[in-house]
Structure 1
């Protein structure tokens, strides 16, 4: 069921399905995208889970306050969401921006989490100069101006001309410029190498062999900060592997959930 919930002073658009007393899996979306990036994955997950998705601040149908945003604010959004839903002992699956939120949430509120999935993400992504250039472009011309450059990083050549890639292209183009720029600022100001290295919880890292935004070595470097974490490389997949290979992605996620006793 999709609805709005008040969290950290804003309205977040969420989808909350499955038994309310079941083990919870929470999904955090990537920069420029909304909860629909997980649509293909959910049908292939084990039955009996509570599956919670939400549009990040400034994305999708969630409220879009004036930016810039701080990563701490995005983490508090996720924290307030789980508190409002009375969810604890969850597995947080975060892709790109969502993976940074997962790290921050685990550092701040380990009581809420049983495990994390760091998907196509890192403790630090890009440089402030790169993010400022993107912010300037978005403020001048909107997110649509970025789509041609993003698609080769996000999808393999064989996939990027298909209908699913077109859906993502349109999704990015229609994001609020203020929300996109605000989230860019949050990523720009984040370096989680030290706090993430102190985490002690089950972790699965997932990377795409053809990812042009967060290459496999960058993802692995972050995952290796957490003792006992597992790293998986998806072949013939790029940055948005849940869209490009939903069944294979779901298989990795399902295996992790079973390994840690979440299903």
Structure 2
């Protein structure tokens, strides 16, 4: 892992794949780190220079004071691209990472070649959902993260997958337990405040929207909302809950690669 220095600390990243290949940026969900993409890396690096990073407040990256915003997280990505002299890249983000992808495609369209929005929405949840979670995490700290870890299993995965594939589930939910409470709460605020419903129609990059048929957090209806507004957007529904890249695994990887290489 390497790092670029931002105001307030370091943003950690991993860059893998052929140096002359086009760049693909992967952006993690709330409560995970860059390792949530581990299953995709062997196939992705055959075709791309893959840039993964720990979003601010997650993994080894900086944890700064106060609430964050999706714009702030998007500008972190631009700073990372600038530091690595990457002019344009494809971008694939899941959940919060998908919100970051929307912000980039709306506000820095020249930097985004192709866009994959996974298990996300133009607006995710409401203050009534997010505010109690933020208050609990800031009050109870790591104990709250352990409680969220257990609760996340049913949100992130279908019951059948969680029961049958513990070897895949446990490392991912353990990322949530290890996340900084302060960083997690700050990013909950970022997700709470993001609303691209009026702007998403301005996205010009070729876009693939990936939904999980059993995703109760960002439903296929949320995906269709974006597809109807982003000109030419494709949509695929996979049998999965919220973390479709983990649960749908090989099918997710193949479908995203087909789109990115089209």
Bin the TM-score by the shorter chain.
over 0.9
Q: Does 1:172 align with 2:176?
A: yes
Q: Which runs of 4+ in 1 moved over 2 A?
A: 7-10
Task: Assess if the C-alpha contact under 8 Å between 2:74 and 2:103 holds in 1.
Answer: yes
Moved more, 195-204 or 28-37: 195-204
Q: Does 1:222 align with 2:226?
A: yes
Task: Assess if the C-alpha contact under 8 Å between 2:8 and 2:62 holds in 1.
Answer: no
Residue of structure 1 equivalent to 2:256? 253
1:148 positional shift: 2.6
Q: Deviations over 1:163-194 (max 9, x none)?
A: 22111221101100000000000011111112
1:245 positional shift: 2.3
| C-alpha RMSD over aligned residues | 1.4
Cα distance change, pair 93–220 in 1 and its aligned pair in 2 (3 A): same
Q: Does 1:59 align with 2:63?
A: no
Classify the secondary structure of the residue corresponding to 2:158: coil
With the length of structure 1 as denominator, give the TM-score of the two structures. Answer: 0.94
1:70 positional shift: 1.5
- In the comparison of the two structures, how many residue pairs are matched? 257
Counterparts of 1:205 and 1:8 in 2: how far apart (Å)?
A: 33
Counterparts of 2:249 and 2:6 in 1: how far apart (Å)?
A: 29
Residue of structure 1 equivalent to 2:83? 84
Residue of structure 2 equivalent to 1:145? 147
1:18 positional shift: 1.6
Counterparts of 1:250 and 1:170 in 2: how far apart (Å)?
A: 23
Task: Assess if the C-alpha contact under 8 Å between 2:212 and 2:237 holds in 1.
Answer: yes
With the length of structure 2 as denominator, give the TM-score of the two structures. Answer: 0.94
Of Structure 1 and Structure 2, which has the larger fraction of its residues in helix?
2
Residue of structure 1 equivalent to 2:126? 127
Counterparts of 1:15 and 1:46 in 2: how far apart (Å)?
A: 12
Matches within 5 A, 1:102-121: 102-121=101-120
Task: Assess if the C-alpha contact under 8 Å between 1:32 and 1:180 holds in 2.
Answer: yes
Unaligned runs of 5+ in 1: none
Counterparts of 1:148 and 1:25 in 2: how far apart (Å)?
A: 32
Unaligned runs of 5+ in 2: none
Q: Does 1:189 align with 2:193?
A: yes
